[in-house]
Amino acid sequence: MATTAPAFTGHSLIAGQPAPGEEGTVTGFDPATDEALEPAFSLLSDDQLRAATAAAEEALESFSALAPEPHAAFIESIAANMEAAGEQIVERAMAESGLTRARLTGELARTTGQLRLFASVVRQGDHRGVRIDPALPERTPLPRPDIRQRMVPLGPVAVFGASNFPLAFSTAGGDTASAFAAGCPVVVKAHNAHPGTSDLVAQAITAAVQQHDLHPGVFSHVYGPGAKIGQALVADPAIKAVGFTGSRGGGLALAQVAASRPEPIPVYAEMSSINPVILLPGALAGGDAIDALAQGYAGSLTGSSGQLCTAPGLVFVPAGEQGDAFEQALARILSEAAGQTMLTKGIAEAWTAGATTLGEQAHVERIAQGTDGATCNAPAPVVFRAGAQELIGNPVLHREIFGSASLVVRYSSTEELARALSGLEGQLTATLHLESVDHEAARELLPLLERKAGRIIVGGWPTGVDVGHAIVHGGPFPATSDARTTSVGSLAIDRFLRPVAYQNVPDALLPEPLKEGNPWGLSRRIDGRLTPPEG
């Protein structure tokens, strides 16, 4: 830990320099008390924002040409700087989010871990996608030219901080890390619910830019008024892609702005998911199994006050005595759970409205509820029940309620279950609990779940996302705006790259990854065959 804690800047950081804003100020709030937290942070005007995007555009050429080692070292330095300021970052994030020390300490480790993961991706260089079709001058009826392909950065990326992950999906989160790894400068729009946390992390990134003598426009960090500054950022012609985690309304608003530009750009938005969990009959065989499933459900639902994009909003439970026993166990366990402080007063109010609306629907019953927490904005977790036919016929039952509220759906057959699942929108996850006697039913459901979700889980619960090479944190709309991508894991880098082919370009003029001598030591696909560096 650092012995001297960094001071808050109170302002945006544009290309490494504090920029006092001209559009008023914002403060963070302690959601446990609704008290304002000092200092206030000044908000940029649209005109001031253009300085950040112009600096990012200027930085692109030099940053995108970095060799693997200095490029990776820069990303690793961000992680090291965050760890050095880790105690202050966690303390401020606790105050601004209401999340626990344990949760935020783990989130800090996840954030620095994914930065180092992308540094390893940069060193290995597979994301550069080098393909070489050597010239075949003797080929008939026409000779083949020398054609070489590589992936290049799209350009400056706008990243929006998320409310529920003030570290892992915010200023230095996965969108920023993957954009940096792709060679893209980044302009982060700080989330106004945790401005102090975002400022401390922005200082860690800015210090890394300076330590490695990079163009200062590689990173800027901006505060702005509401949706106005975000839309202005997406509309700016220097920005070439967007990373966003948040509500469906917010993501679609940015996507509309991006699509309306003279040059439309991609928006990679993670938005809305209710993450169905399916308990097949074999999984409920035995009291111990039932209790364990109910305990797992309650823990997944209430962790971080349910404010996780993978929280189980729907749990499908078979009709009959075993399903009844599961509900009884859940009611007993949840009755001992107290509400936890939610991220903001507004989020808590939205949760209350959503849970109230769900409970008012015809044929929906409340079956389990905890108690309110001792702090502000800590409503009691609650679970409702409906039948599969009610789910099929009522779109209100499909809505995401961000927080600890969920719906148990009772089904009478695999066919009825499949019909209910068919009516769901796209999801981040779908989970099956089963035993070997359930394999035939699962085999019928898996093709359907593939069409509905980005990650299929057997056993366990959907909350918790492992950061690695094989993970997919994405899914069909509205889980994300582009089902072909992931916002977590090394594949996330592909969102910010595009292919360029070089035909008959002299070796002296080729970029380093494509030169005949392979100076960066990359694996390359030559004439269709993957060839290691020494080959």
Catalytic residues: 270, 309
Contacts 24+ apart (CB under 8 A), 61-68: 62/214, 62/215, 63/183, 63/184, 63/185, 63/214, 63/215, 63/218, 64/152, 64/153, 64/183, 64/184, 65/183, 65/511, 66/183, 66/214, 67/512, 67/520, 68/122, 68/123, 68/125, 68/520
**Backbone φ, ψ for residue 277 (5° rounding):** -115, 130
Give 137's Cβ-side CA count (13 Å radius): 1
What are the DSSP calls for 347-403, one per residue? HHHHHHHHHHHHHTSTT-EEEEE-B--SSTT-PPPEEEEEEHHHHHH-GGGGS--SS
**Rounded distance between C-alpha atoms, residue 200 and residue 205, angstroms:** 9
Which helix (H) or strand (E) is 70 found in, with range?
Answer: helix 68-84
Answer whether 13's CB lies under 8 Å from 203's CB: yes
- Distance, CA of 256 to chain centre: 20
CA–CA dist 234, 301 (Å, integer): 34
**101-124 vs 86-97: helix crossing angle, rounded to 10:** 120
Give CA–CA dist 135/463, Å, rounded.
Answer: 51
| DSSP helix/strand/coil, 161 | coil
Pairing status of strand 35-42 against strand 25-30: antiparallel
Question: Starting from the edge strand earliest in sequence, which strands make up the sheet with 365-369, in order?
Answer: 365-369, 382-387, 405-411, 314-318, 277-279, 427-433, 453-458
